[in-house]
Amino acid sequence: MVAKDKNISMTRQCELLAIHRSGLYYTPVESKENLEMMQLMDKQYLETPYYGILRLAAWLILQGYKVNPKRVKRLMKLMRWQTIYQKPNTSKPNKEDLKYPYLLRDLKVYHRNQVWEIDITYIPMRRDFMYLCAIIDVHTRYVVNWGISNTMTALWCCGIVEEAIKTHGQPEILNSDQGSQFTSLEYTALLTKRENPIKISMDGKGRALDNIYI
C-alpha cells in the first residue's frame, strides 16, 4: 500500500498506515563469522583506532580468521570504522553532496541546547545487527534521543532529530560526520528550513575526533 507519491511523503504514509518506516527496508543477514569479527574489531578499535585495512587484516589473521583486505574493507565500511590520523586533502568534494563547515573548533559551550552531536553505530546481535542513532547535548552530556533500526536511512535520522527537538527544544548547532544520512537533502532541510534555523556543523574528512562526545 506504500508507494512513492509527490504529494504524500513516505513518512506520512507510514503514519497513516500505522507502520514503522524500517519495515519498508531489508538488510541482508551477515554470517556468524562476520558478526564475530565485527565484535572483535569493535573492541580492538578502542585499543588501535589508527589501524588501517592492511594492519587490521593482519591482526584478524593472527586471531585465526582467513580474511583478505577486500573483506575487511567491507566490514570496516559497514561498521563506519574511521581510522584516526590526519589525512591530506587530496580529493575534491562532490558538488552534489551537501557539506557544511565544522563550527565547534575553539567554541566555548556554556549552556544546554547550545550544541548537540549526532552519530550512528551498530549493535551486534546473535543472527544479525541493528543500527543505533543517538544525539547528545555537549554541555550536559545528556542523550536527548536515540533510536534503533535495521537500516541507516536519512528519514530515520530525521525522525530521531524531530523527536529530540519536540521533547527538549532545538539546539543552536547540530554536529555530525559527513555520512550520507547527514548530507542528504531531507536531513539538511529539516534543520535549515525552520522559523529559527539550526546551524549545521560537520566533521572534517577523516576527523573522527571532531564528533568526540557522541
Q: How confident is the model over 58-81, as a mean pLDDT?
A: 92
**List of residues 6+ apart from 198 with CB closer than 8 A:** 170, 171, 172, 173, 174, 191, 192
Q: How confident is the model over 114-120, as a mean pLDDT?
A: 95
Give the per-residue pLDDT at 27: 59
Nearest-CA neighbor of 30 among 41, 21, 44, 46? Answer: 41
Give the per-residue pLDDT at 158: 95
95 part of a folded domain: no
Q: How does pLDDT run across 131-164, given as a tens digit for each residue?
A: 899 999 999 999 999 999 988 889 999 999 999 9
59 part of a folded domain: yes
195 part of a folded domain: yes
Cell of 115: 550544541
Give the per-residue pLDDT at 68: 94
160 part of a folded domain: yes
Q: How does pLDDT run across 159-207, given as a tens digit for each residue?
A: 999 999 999 999 999 999 888 889 999 999 999 999 999 999 998 765 6
Q: How confident is the model over 16-21, as a mean pLDDT?
A: 78
Full domain range(s) for residue 62: 32-79
Please give the torsion angle defined by the CA atoms of residues 171, 177, 181 and 186, in that order, rounded to the nearest 10 degrees.
40
Nearest-angstrom CA–CA distance, 34 and 214:
26
Shared domain for 72 and 131, answered yes or no, is no
User: Dihedral sign, CA of 212, 145, 143, 139?
Assistant: positive
Give the per-residue pLDDT at 109: 92
Shared domain for 60 and 131, answered yes or no, is no
19 part of a folded domain: no
In the chain, the number of structural domains is: 2
103 part of a folded domain: no
Burial of 116 (0-12, 13-18, 19+ CB in 10 A): buried
CATH number at 135 reads: 3.30.420.10
Give the per-residue pLDDT at 17: 82
Out of 9-23, 40-54, 59-73, 112-126, pick the least confident.
Answer: 9-23
H/E stretch holding 145: strand 143-149
